Amino acid sequence: MSNSDKEMPYIIDKVTGNLAPHIGAEDNRQKAEELLLGEKGFSAADISVDHPVSVEVNGQDYASALDLLVFVDGKPVMVIKCAAGSLDSRQKEVIAAARVCIDPIPPIAASTDGSEWLLWDVKSGKQMGRGADSVPDKSRAGDILAAYTPEPLEGKALMRERLIFRSYDMDNVNVARKAY
């Protein structure tokens, strides 16, 4: 039986209400959305699912999507990578995504498997929290955003972060295609 002969399972996305293919890390994303919408106090309007992004790398546009992008008062506050496996291995990818894909640059980058969470400060790249309790609620996220001044990258640093994002993201896309 070929992949095209299989019937793809779907689930209803908690943020959008749309059908989402039930493959890869989709369960992890749904758990993350549930936390954000529930105890963290964000609304569906505060969360962008599969947020489209495009970055220029070596003169070519590279288009992709971020798993989740969280906003407070219309301003980006947190990029979230939903994945299985080692969350530590997602640090460079999600920080690079926050630094080069979103304008203005959000202060928080996070990775989650739906249960465990790791959060990093986008400016310094240092870990700022571990576990669901470290995920800021909407009020705290607003306070973090108010005290934050984005520092856009330029020159070689900008190109390096774009290459990091594209390299990790291309690997994810290829793995996801093989999963089903």
Q: Over the stretch 77-126, which tens digit does the pLDDT of each residue have?
A: 999 999 877 777 788 999 999 999 999 999 999 999 988 999 999 999 99
Write out the chain's pLDDT in tens, 180 residues.
445 445 778 999 999 999 998 887 899 999 999 999 999 999 999 999 999 999 999 899 999 999 999 999 999 999 999 987 777 778 899 999 999 999 999 999 999 998 899 999 999 999 999 999 999 999 999 999 999 999 999 999 999 999 999 998 887 654 443 343
CA distance 108 to 95: 8
User: Could you tell me which residues come within 8 angstroms of residue 80 by beta carbon, excluding any fewer than 6 positions away?
Assistant: 32, 66, 67, 68, 69, 70, 94, 109, 110, 111, 112
**Beta partners for residue 62, in sequence order:** 55
The predicted model scores a pTM of 0.89
Q: What is the DSSP string of the chain?
A: --GGGSPPPEEE-TTT-SEEE--TTHHHHHHHHHHHHTTT---GGGEEEEEEEEEEETTEEEEEEEEEEEEETTEEEEEEEE-SS-SGGGHHHHHHHHHHHSSSPPSEEEEESSS-EEEEETTT--EEEESGGGS--HHHHHHHHHT-------HHHHHHHHHHHHHHHHHHHHHHHHH-
Largest CA distance in the chain: 55
Beta-carbon contacts of residue 75 (< 8 Å; ≥ 6 apart) = 104, 106, 145
Q: CB–CB of 172/25 below 8 Å?
A: no
Q: Tokens for 52? A: 């489209």
